[in-house]
Structure 1
Amino acid sequence: MNENLSSAGLIKLAQDSTKGSKEALMENITDMFLSPDGRLNDHERVLMNDIMVKLLKNVEKKIRKGLSERLAESDEISIELVTMLANDHIEVARPVLEKSALLKDEDLVETIRNRTDSHRLSIAIREHVSETVSDELIEHGNEDVIEALIQNSNAELSKASMDYLVQESRSVDRFQEPLLNRNDLSFELVHKMYWWVSAALRRKIVAEFDIDETLLDDALEDATKEVIEKHNEKEGVMEKVILLVKNLDSQRKLNFDFVVTSLRQQKINVAVAALAELSGLGVKIIWRVIREKNDEGLAVISRAIGLEKSQFSTMFLLILQANSGPKARSTSILNTMLNLYDRIKPDNAKAAVKYWQRDYHYQEAQMLLQDAC
């Protein structure tokens, strides 16, 4: 041991039972750990760690807090000592819980399960939080803990946890903004969340203000779509098809003949995108009409965009063949659909399509909120 520190002096302090002597002993030993000169060899370091562990049980909270603050970023102390500090009163535990790199996932999980939300909050703001630790914080922590975890950009969140938190954000407003600000939130979850937020905002505005609900829906939908589009950086097959169709429409080359040609060539993606553009509906709604064989919906859309009966007949038969194959028995079905087409009034069809033009997720979010009431 370095001669600058008297071994006899340390022994004397250890033998003295007064509070001041214990505090002085703790400070001297702590100084040894933190000295840049490396005063302790391995054997001495083990011995000093053992002494500090024993002293911790007999010194007041103020001293333990000071020790935790000084040793929070040290990598020389024993895991036994750092876990004792981590599981002490929160005033003592906070520095090591927030900063100590010696605490492993299993140590943090043990603290999360057995200590307070204040301890969990300190863990949630650590420089790095693994998926394992995040899962435990979400399971055991209160809303303050979870919000702090979401706000921590260095906290890893598993897919299951992210799905759960997005679901929870429907009823816990304070989770919404930090979740939307996370870089690891998938586009699908971003899309879902924005519509939930919009639907909740709509309900609040309608309840508190005298406002035209149609105008409100238009404003909320436009604002939400604009934000969502900024998040949609994917360029999958459907996205490219939609871009192609929009370009054709801007050049005034998009018409019903293009839809028919696409169907004849079995380019269903292109036909769906084109029909969506012509009707002002989302591709999800058009896909639903086609895949679920919602023939009435197809008739309504055709009436709303002004298709002649012969045009509707051609499109219907091509979609029927795409769904059922070239040998589909179509005569009786076609006659039924043409009769339906004749009964639908254009104004009623346009009103129905106007409603459908509300984003599918927006409608879904409103229905979920109604169910929750």
Structure 2
Amino acid sequence: MSSLISGDTGNKKAKTESGLGKPDGAVSTNQMVGSASYERLLKLAHQRAVDGKGGLAASIAKMCLDSRADLNEEELSLTFDILRKLIDQVEVQIRRYIADYLAERVDVPQDLLDFLANDVINVAYPILVHSAQLEDDHLIAIIDNNGAAHQMAVAKRPGLTGAVSDKLVSTANTEVLINLLRNLSAEMTPWGIGETVRLSVHDADLQAPLLQRRDLPPAVAKRMYAWVGDALRDYIGRNYDLDTVIVADAVSDAVDAALEAEDAGIDWYDEKGRDHAQRLIGALEGQGEEGFVEAVGAVIGKTEVETRKMLTRTGAESLGIICRAFGMDSNQYMTVMPEVLGHRSMKEMRANNQINGAIEAFEALTKDQARTTVNAWCISAGATKH
């Protein structure tokens, strides 16, 4: 980038015309900041802009906006005035060069800052990520008025507030959300966490960065255990104490609301308003495992293959969630378990003392929690047969 301000052929002419490139010695910064020099510089800068050349604009940025330049208020104002006249007429590389300087300052006129922040992303990036002058209302407007590239840059800003994070979450853009989730200094509200969890049911790319956030409550990680892959289940098991899940009510309620907002269309009650538990047990007793799987699939709107996969995805745990969702008690669950999981699996569970743990997990699960999880599974699996 230094070639833009010194040493290149195109800028030698500009330096000579402005009195900056005389062979007998460079003009000092102190000479530059004199009132007469500034008036002349303004005139020349405007002419260079008309000619479509940006070398002088870059020189102004370097010499006048450098932290070592000792400018008074009038001189600084004039510098910004020159940049205003040039900024929309010079090439992208020069605008980016100027943006790099202005991103570190806290005294840039708002109109100039807004112009750069809404410029092409190569120019806007340092302003969006680093400028301390951009407040929440400016950032929210930028998110509203620009595309994913600008939104991703905003998502990387240190110390984002919950209001800006919520606006980013509302874009529902995977890459934007990944950048936000990886920004561990960004504040996320209960709504933001809940909505991102809901989106992660469909979008596996969000699951790992979401689980790696330090502010994700263990109860939410436990909820996600139901729909993430094996590798992330291992991660949850290693990094979260799932036996002691304490979570703020606001976050827990937000996650529930987000998951329930998208309904898979499951009718949890029969025509008489009763749970399906007894009818499913009847199908198991009358037609065996295939009859049970078919009956469950008919209620949740899935094929036999999809239903069997859902019932056995995590063994006794997933089966217990579905049985609880249909209103079964622990005795009914124990009746279903060997038929669906197979007697070989039951033998292995007994050998590893896992039966009691499965029953305890089943009894600790509420019907509403189970239904929210099954609803999420069905949404994640795709369109139903209803």
Q: Normalising by structure 1, what TM-score?
A: 0.57
Confirm or deny that 1:23 pairs with 2:55.
yes
Q: Residue 297 of structure 1 is aligned with which of 329, 345, 365?
A: 329
Please, what is the CA RMSD of the aligned residues?
4.2
In the alignment, which residue of structure 2 is the partner of 1:231?
240
In the alignment, which residue of structure 2 is the partner of 1:53?
84
Bigger CA drift: 359-368 or 147-156?
Answer: 359-368
In the alignment, which residue of structure 1 is the partner of 2:65?
33
How far apart are residue 152 of structure 1 and its match?
Answer: 1.1
Structure 2 counterpart of 1:357, which letter? Answer: A
- 1:201-280 aligned at under 5 Å gives the runs 224=233, 227-228=236-237, 230-232=239-241
Q: Distance in 1 between matches of 2:31 and 2:87?
A: 25
Q: Is the 8 A contact 2:60 2:79 kept in 1?
A: no
In the alignment, which residue of structure 2 is the partner of 1:104?
135
Q: Distance in 2 between matches of 1:28 and 1:86?
A: 20
Q: Residue 180 of structure 1 is aligned with which of 211, 217, 220?
A: 211
The 1:70/1:230 distance shift into structure 2, 3 A limit, reads closer
Q: Distance in 2 between matches of 1:165 and 1:176?
A: 9
Query: What SS does the corresponding residue of 1:195 show, helix, strand or coil?
Result: coil
The 1:182/1:303 distance shift into structure 2, 3 A limit, reads closer
Q: Normalising by structure 2, what TM-score?
A: 0.55
Deviations 1:332-351 (A, max 9, x none): xxxxxxxxxxxxxxx9xx99
Q: Distance in 2 between matches of 1:99 and 1:36?
A: 20
Confirm or deny that 1:137 pairs with 2:164.
no
Q: Distance in 2 between matches of 1:224 and 1:29?
A: 52
Q: Is the 8 A contact 2:128 2:150 kept in 1?
A: yes
Structure 2 counterpart of 1:231, which letter? Answer: Y
Q: Distance in 2 between matches of 1:123 and 1:142?
A: 13
Q: Distance in 2 between matches of 1:69 and 1:303?
A: 68
Q: Distance in 2 between matches of 1:226 and 1:9?
A: 64
The 1:86/1:370 distance shift into structure 2, 3 A limit, reads closer
Instruction: List alignment gaps of at least 5 residues for structure 1.
Output: 202-219, 238-280, 305-346
In the alignment, which residue of structure 1 is the partner of 2:40?
12
Q: Distance in 1 between matches of 2:179 and 2:223?
A: 22
Structure 2 counterpart of 1:43, which letter? Answer: E
How far apart are residue 171 of structure 1 and its match?
Answer: 0.8
Q: Distance in 2 between matches of 1:233 and 1:366?
A: 19
Q: Distance in 2 between matches of 1:109 and 1:168?
A: 21
In the alignment, which residue of structure 2 is the partner of 1:327?
none
Structure 2 counterpart of 1:44, which letter? Answer: E
In the alignment, which residue of structure 1 is the partner of 2:114?
83
User: What is the percent sequence identity of the aligned residues?
Assistant: 25
Deviations 1:47-100 (A, max 9, x none): 322332222133222211110122221223222222211111111111111111
Q: Distance in 2 between matches of 1:48 and 1:177?
A: 47
The 1:25/1:9 distance shift into structure 2, 3 A limit, reads farther
Structure 2 counterpart of 1:90, which letter? Answer: I
Q: Distance in 1 between matches of 2:94 and 2:334?
A: 80
How far apart are residue 116 of structure 1 and its match?
Answer: 1.8
How far apart are residue 140 of structure 1 and its match?
Answer: 2.7
In the alignment, which residue of structure 1 is the partner of 2:220?
189
Q: Distance in 2 between matches of 1:369 and 1:104?
A: 40
The 1:137/1:298 distance shift into structure 2, 3 A limit, reads closer
The 1:142/1:370 distance shift into structure 2, 3 A limit, reads closer
Q: Distance in 1 between matches of 2:61 and 2:245?
A: 62
Structure 2 counterpart of 1:176, which letter? Answer: Q
Q: How many correspondences in the alignment?
A: 255
The 1:225/1:363 distance shift into structure 2, 3 A limit, reads farther
Query: What SS does the corresponding residue of 1:170 show, helix, strand or coil?
Result: helix
How far apart are residue 357 of structure 1 and its match?
Answer: 2.9
The 1:11/1:21 distance shift into structure 2, 3 A limit, reads farther
How far apart are residue 146 of structure 1 and its match?
Answer: 1.1
The 1:99/1:10 distance shift into structure 2, 3 A limit, reads same
Deviations 1:177-221 (A, max 9, x none): 0001001111111001112114xx6xxxxxxxxxxxxxxxxxx9x
Q: Distance in 1 between matches of 2:170 and 2:334?
A: 51
Q: Distance in 2 between matches of 1:303 and 1:135?
A: 46
Q: Distance in 2 between matches of 1:15 and 1:301?
A: 85
Instruction: List alignment gaps of at least 5 residues for structure 2.
Output: 1-27, 247-315, 337-342, 348-353
Structure 2 counterpart of 1:369, which letter? Answer: W
For the pair shown, which has the larger CA radius of gyration, 1 or 2?
A: 1
The 1:8/1:187 distance shift into structure 2, 3 A limit, reads same
Query: What SS does the corresponding residue of 2:225 show, helix, strand or coil?
Result: helix
Structure 2 counterpart of 1:13, which letter? Answer: L
Structure 1 counterpart of 2:171, which letter? Answer: H
